[in-house]
């Protein structure tokens, strides 16, 4: 059975890079003026040649976002259930070779975290764990979802990639969305950053969105860890992946995230630094390329950046996040997966949105309407 691997293997990272960096002013103008944009247009919008057009791109991105999403911003919050992990990843605080105290929340601890998140007003929760199948496998997720789902209208997970049958088992327990970041589409360098554990299998991870689509998951989240490799090439491959998925699993919704590599204890320095201006360019390029896809920004980014990006294509954001298991109530001082930059609580984010004439959306859909 075919999968994205069949398309991916036809592309060369070096040739994609050469194509992006050879785009010129005329290519950018054509992309901006086109009625229906393709992947070549996306390359142009990503390219250094598009940098002088950033203001024009920002205005167009704003208009397209307003047309499809209006002046709304979905709010979600991560709940870290476990920091146990069997992978070695060069950039992550939960990596197996980091000597940290490991913990996995039990049912009562999960309930305590839920109470704190509900007090903040949240209806959309993102469940996060390390990748440790024996500790936090499908059985654990079922039990966690049974506890969590009654309290939230939308439940997302960001955990280890699973088999199709596993996702099919989790959907009746209330699973709505799965985020699975490839980290980088550079196959050779992927191995350098993931030398040990199941995550070292590049193609198993690459085909995860296919398994999600076949399982009938409501929404799939894609993205790369910006800073591991050339962000322009990685973003092209993400768009290529998105384009394939939308054609193959057209009933599914999609979201793109933009995590920039941030410090953790003993952390990896970014191979490629991305400026705020370049991140704005990337967000606008995605919106101009695809008017339907949701674009999400996390608390990795600064207050100032998040205040200014809401008008330029972003449709969902987190607020008040903790990136450690039990971080809201149970164990607020334990080691985080990565450092938070924007530490404002949800009420402050809502006020900021209101000051910009935007509406905070806590709940944007109802399963019974499907």
Residue 95: closest CA among 63, 130, 68, 120: 130
Give yes or no for a contact between 243 and 258, defined as CB atoms under 8 angstroms apart: no
Is the Cα dihedral 115, 116, 117, 120 positive or negative? positive
Phi then psi for residue 188, to 5 deg, are -70, -45
d(CA 101, CA 91): 18
| 46 found inside a domain | yes
The tally of domains found in the chain comes to 1
Alpha-carbon dihedral of residues 45, 49, 55, 61, nearest 10 degrees?
0
Alpha-carbon dihedral of residues 368, 207, 234, 229, nearest 10 degrees?
120
**Mean pLDDT, residues 31-57:** 97
d(CA 91, CA 16): 25
List, in sequence order, every residue forming a beta bridge with 67; answer none if it has no partner.
none
| 93 found inside a domain | yes
What is the domain range of residue 47? 4-364
| 273 found inside a domain | yes
| 369 found inside a domain | no
Indicate the pLDDT class of residue 365, thresholds 50, 70 and 90: low
State yes or no: pLDDT of 330 exceeds 60.
Answer: yes
Whole-model pTM over 0.75:
yes
| 193 found inside a domain | yes
* Bigger pLDDT: 174 vs 198: 174
State yes or no: pLDDT of 101 exceeds 90.
Answer: no
Assigned token pair, 140 = 């654990």
| 370 found inside a domain | no
**Mean pLDDT, residues 230-250:** 98
Residue 339: closest CA among 265, 280, 278, 228: 265
pLDDT digits (tens, 9 = 90+) for 118-172: 999 999 999 999 888 889 999 999 999 999 999 999 999 999 999 999 999 999 9
| 349 found inside a domain | yes
Looking up residue 347, the CATH number of its domain turns out to be: 3.20.20.70
| 110 found inside a domain | yes
List, in sequence order, every residue forming a beta bridge with 196; answer none if it has no partner.
88
Degrees to nearest 5, angle at CA 67 with 276 and 300: 25
For the chain, the distance separating the N- and C-terminal CA atoms, rounded to the nearest angstrom, is 28
């Amino acid at each position: 059975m075919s999968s994205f691997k069949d398309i991916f293997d036809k592309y060369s990272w070096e040739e994609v890079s050469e194509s992006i960096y050879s785009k010129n002013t005329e290519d950018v103008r054509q992309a901006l003026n086109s009625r229906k944009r393709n992947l070549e247009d996306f390359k142009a919008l990503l390219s250094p040649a598009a940098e002088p057009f950033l203001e024009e791109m920002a205005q167009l991105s704003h208009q397209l976002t307003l047309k499809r999403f209006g002046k709304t911003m979905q709010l979600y919050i991560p709940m870290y259930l476990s920091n146990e992990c069997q992978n070695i990843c060069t950039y992550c605080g939960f990596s197996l070779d980091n000597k940290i105290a490991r913990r996995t929340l039990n049912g009562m601890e999960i309930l305590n975290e839920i109470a704190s998140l509900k007090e903040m007003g949240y209806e959309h929760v993102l469940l996060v764990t390390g990748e440790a199948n024996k500790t936090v496998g499908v059985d654990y997720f079922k039990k966690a979802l049974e506890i969590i789902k009654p309290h939230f209208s939308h439940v997302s997970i960001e955990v280890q990639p699973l088999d199709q049958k596993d996702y099919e088992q989790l959907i009746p327990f209330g699973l709505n969305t799965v985020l699975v970041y490839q980290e980088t589409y550079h196959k050779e360098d992927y191995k350098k950053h993931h030398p040990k554990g199941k995550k070292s299998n590049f193609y198993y991870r690459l085909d995860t969105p296919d398994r999600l689509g076949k399982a009938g998951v409501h929404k799939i989240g894609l993205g790369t860890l910006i800073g591991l490799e050339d962000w322009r090439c990685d973003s092209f491959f993400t768009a290529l992946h998105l384009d394939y998925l939308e054609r193959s699993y057209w009933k599914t919704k999609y979201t793109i995230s933009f995590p920039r590599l941030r410090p953790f204890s003993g952390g990896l320095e970014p191979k490629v630094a991305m400026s705020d201006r370049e991140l704005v360019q990337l967000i606008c390029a995605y919106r101009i390329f695809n008017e339907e896809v949701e674009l999400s920004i996390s608390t990795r980014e600064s207050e100032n950046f998040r205040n200014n990006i809401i008008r330029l294509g972003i449709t969902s954001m987190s607020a008040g996040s903790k990136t450690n298991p039990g971080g809201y109530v149970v164990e607020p001082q334990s080691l985080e997966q990565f450092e938070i930059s924007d530490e404002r609580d949800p009420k402050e984010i809502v006020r900021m949105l209101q000051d910009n004439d935007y509406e905070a959306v806590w709940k944007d859909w109802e399963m019974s309407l499907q």
